[in-house]
Amino acid sequence: MATVAESHSPFLPATFFFFFFFPRLLLGLLPVILFLLSRFLLLRNRRPSLHLPPGPKPWPILGNLLHVGSMPHVAFSQLSQAHGPLISLRLGAQLVVVASSPEAASEILKTHDHDLSGRSVPHVSFARDPELNRDSIAWATHCTDQWRSLRSLVRAELFTSKALDRHSEAREKQARDMARFLERRQVGEEVRVRDVAFAYMFNGLASAYVSRELVQLEGGGGDVERVSGIVREMMELYAAPNVSDLYPSLGGLDLLGLRKRTEECVAKLREVWDPLIISRRREVRTSDRPDGDGGRDFLDALLDVGFSDEAISYTFVEMLAAVSDSTSASTEWALAELLKNPKTITAARRELDGKFPRGHVIKESDLPDLPYLCACVKETLRLHPPAPLLLPRRAARDCHVMGYTVPEGAQVFVNVWAIGRDPRYWEDASSFKPERFIMAGGGGREHDVDYKGSNFEFLPFGSGRRMCSGMPMAIRMIQLAVATLVHGFEWSMPEGAAAAVEEMGMEERYGVTLLKLHPLVLIPTPRV
């Protein structure tokens, strides 16, 4: 949800689309490659020998970039099978350490959480600005007192049980609007599931942030497609390779123009909410805002603590745009897995139909009575975590992990995608089996593996001080979306589709958010 931290504000550093962007990247590297080579030869004999985690031998200058390819989470998983659960690589000049087992994850996220809780900020990110970095939840370079205070504010205003319940009716309205939109489709009309889910997520979050809807599913001149398209482009730019991320000593360069393009995307997104921020500040100054807790939202809270308009706007980039992208992708994955595994969607509908009549509007308060459906969401996040490597941590100082040195300045990733598929912990690990989270004979109680980051074999939202603080809201919204889509509609492939719904491809598209390579385009039919 990642939201605001490891999972739901998931801007991974621009190092991992090397495979796709290699020709352009190489052209950008040519002017500096001789300079880098001379520095490499000069410094290699001065660098003290460190007992780094094992890994493939790097090439000069390029390092291990060619080992990574277009699917780094898969490549890292394969490399860990050859070299061990904790590996090291060089992506360009940047040292990277990757943990791919629950034991290694526990060492990084728990035992050495303090030493490894820094952030490496991508060079295309607005958080490179020191003032904006200070007010960032996801990208604050250090876990300062200011950062801790901000996380506490966010939790109190948005993610406590009281705060979640305060805005539940607004989120439920968005779920009803999503269902009505689907019901009004003409017979045989196709919908793109990710866009429908994006509108629900974006407006559901906006209800808590600014107390109003920000996009329209219909009648808005392609509003959802436009905003979601901007968000998607921005997220892809964050994942594209920038020379400055591969070679930190070249931090002032933007040879591929990625930073400029990212700034253009952010400027377009700010047009969606900046007028509201300006208007609200004017209301506060003139005492036109309603008194009492009932009229208060997250924007009011940020104004109260003295955030500038610019800092608020960039907070919304992290906590509204990025979170909507990852949670809508998770909803798409969940529906795809249920449709591809007919027994599971039949079981989910049996549970829903046994407790609620057809046409019943599912509410968040109904979700605890739907253990199988909630297990379906949990199983989806095991197989398809929103950010498969979490956000990159940075070693604030040298530390020793599993007998190896992780030097100061190293980027540190936790491969939660690989951990969620570890056959030592998960029987038939690659299969979609929601029942694994239901205790046998437990009367529908979910298995004792939760989202809170204490079970290191299951970390879709991370763990430790950098864990996603938005997890409680993200889970509620994904579960409500999936329940609404499954209970209210039958789903079929468009006419002329290459495969039946049970045979659809489940290939991944790596990036800031782990997407389905082929977007889910389906025909909804209301269940009557």
Give per-residue burial for 328-359: e unless 16+ CB within 10 Å, then b. bbbbbbbbbbbbbbeebbebbbebbeeebeee
Cα–Cα distance, 232 to 194 (Å, whole number) = 11
Q: Return d(Cα 126, Cα 324) in angstroms, integer.
A: 19
Q: What is the pLDDT along the chain (528 residues), one digit of tens a residue?
A: 444 444 443 334 444 444 444 445 555 555 555 455 545 544 454 456 789 999 999 998 899 999 998 899 999 999 999 999 999 999 999 999 999 999 999 999 999 999 999 998 888 888 888 989 999 999 999 999 999 999 999 999 999 999 999 999 999 999 999 999 999 999 999 999 999 999 999 999 999 999 999 999 886 556 899 999 999 999 888 877 678 888 887 777 787 889 999 999 999 999 999 999 999 999 888 776 655 445 789 999 999 999 999 999 999 999 999 999 999 999 999 999 999 999 999 999 999 999 999 889 999 999 999 999 999 999 999 999 999 999 999 999 999 999 999 999 999 999 999 999 999 999 999 999 999 999 754 444 346 789 999 999 999 999 999 999 999 999 999 999 999 999 999 999 998 776 788 889 999 998 878 999 999 999 999 998
d(CA 209, CA 171): 12
Residue 416 parent element (H or E): helix 416-419
| 376 annotated as belonging to a binding site for a ligand | no
Of 513, 526, 474, 460, residue with least CA distance to 171:
474
What sign has the CA pseudo-torsion 261, 253, 138, 367?
positive
b/e for 127-164, b at 16 or more Cβ within 10 A? bbeeebbbbbbbbbbebeeebeebbebbeebbbeeebb
State in Å, rounded, how far the first CA of the chain is from the last one.
32
* CA dist list (Å): 114 to 92, 109, 134, 242: 27, 9, 18, 29
On the 0-12 / 13-18 / 19+ scale of CB atoms within 10 A, 496 is exposed
Q: Which domains does the chain have, with CATH numbers?
A: 18-526 (1.10.630.10)
Cα–Cα dist 3/14, whole Å: 19
pTM, 2 dp = 0.90
Tokens of 461: 């939202």
Amino acid making up residue 46: R
